[in-house]
Amino acid sequence: MVQSVIELEPLGTVPDRFPNELVRLILEISARSDGKTALNIFLAVSGHDRKWIEPIVYAHIVIHSHRNAALFLKVMPAKPRGFFATHVKSIAIGDSVTLQQSRAILAGCSQSVVDFAVWGNTRNPTIFLPFIRSRTLRRLSLKAQHASELSFPPTLLASLTHLMVLDGPYSWFQMREAVRWTKWRETNNLEYRRATVLFRSLTHFGVCSKNWGSMQAILKVAVNLRYFLVIVPPNVKTNMIAHRIEEIGDRRVVLLQYSQTVDNWDASARGEESVWERAEKLVTEGYFTEYGRKWKH
């Protein structure tokens, strides 16, 4: 695909006496085990068998760079019409991918996307969101070292169950308005209902440690929120943050270390344990950090 070339190892041959249904099942189960295995199998098997593996290989797409995007845009017309629109379930866009390239890729690939990520450093990460054509987007990760005003299409924001916002600094008008109206706390107030409906589906929210103070309002406006992740890079001291979380006393808040890379996002999209799952386990067991600190009963 668009990632680094992987050297193949001999996979052996499948005896002819095996029925096609069994061969397909073996190949698909092996391919779903991880991305490297899927690509190895895809490159090693015959053209007929590749048709079984292609949907798995292209289910998760990471476009790291401008060059990767250019190569992928050349691949897209070679596939049957609607192939990517049907089979692509997650997409990540890197920093040097241009807006024009992103628009073209999302136009052809984002119709069935459930998980989308922007991992860049120099642009407002929400500029890509209007190009997403999926009505099933549920997970969104944004990372950019750029002072930005976050702007989410309302329908998209209202559909999200998982939202991660890293780096920044950011400002967010939609959340500020929601906080303003939730002060009324009157369910028959029209503006209150409009404010909370934008966050009605959100159950998981993650934010980096330097921005978590300004994002705590999510705890008030997202009525179905169950997990609020404060994310720090590995090897960062966390005592002060842990103390502050304990003072707040909201048991949905949990502190985790997480290497904020697109490779980690890709691994979790392919089925490895995600930072969300780690948070769920900690909250369920009554911890607010990964270092054995529990809520007092």
User: Quick one: 256 and 245 in the same domain?
Assistant: yes
85 is in which domain, residue-wise?
A: 58-284
Chosen domain end from 9, 41, 56 = 56
Residue 294 maps to a domain: no
Residues 3 and 106 in one domain: no
Give the pLDDT confidence score for residue 83 in this predicted structure.
92
97 shares a domain with 175: yes
Q: Is the same domain home to 67 and 113?
A: yes
Pair 144, 169 in one domain: yes
Alpha carbon of 283 to those of 250, 267, 297: distances in Å?
Answer: 11, 22, 14
Pull the structure tokens for residue 247.
């003072």
- 17 and 135 together in one domain: no
Same domain for 102 and 210, yes or no, is yes
Asked, for residue 98, whether it belongs to a domain, the answer is: yes
pLDDT tens digit at each of 297 positions of the chain: 444 443 444 445 545 554 455 444 544 444 455 555 545 544 445 565 556 567 777 888 899 999 999 999 998 998 899 999 999 999 999 988 999 999 999 999 999 999 999 987 778 899 999 999 999 999 999 998 878 888 999 999 999 999 999 887 788 888 877 777 766 655 566 777 777 888 999 999 999 888 888 788 889 889 899 999 999 988 888 889 999 999 999 999 999 988 877 777 877 766 778 899 999 999 999 999 988 888 887
Query: Is 122 within the bounds of a domain?
Result: yes
Q: What is the pLDDT of residue 6?
A: 39
Tokens 């943050």 -> residue: 241
pLDDT in tens, 153-186: 999 999 999 999 988 778 888 887 777 776 665 5
Kindly state whether residues 95 and 238 are assigned to the same domain: yes
Amino acid 122: pLDDT: 79
With H, G, I as helix, E, B as strand and everything else as coil, classify residue 71.
helix
Dist. CA 29–CA 112, nearest whole Å? 22
How is residue 283 written in tokens?
């909250």
Residue 131 placed within a domain = yes
Pair 47, 99 in one domain:
no
In this predicted structure, what is the pLDDT of residue 32?
A: 53
- Total domains present in the chain: 2
Specify whether 137 is located in the same domain as 210.
yes
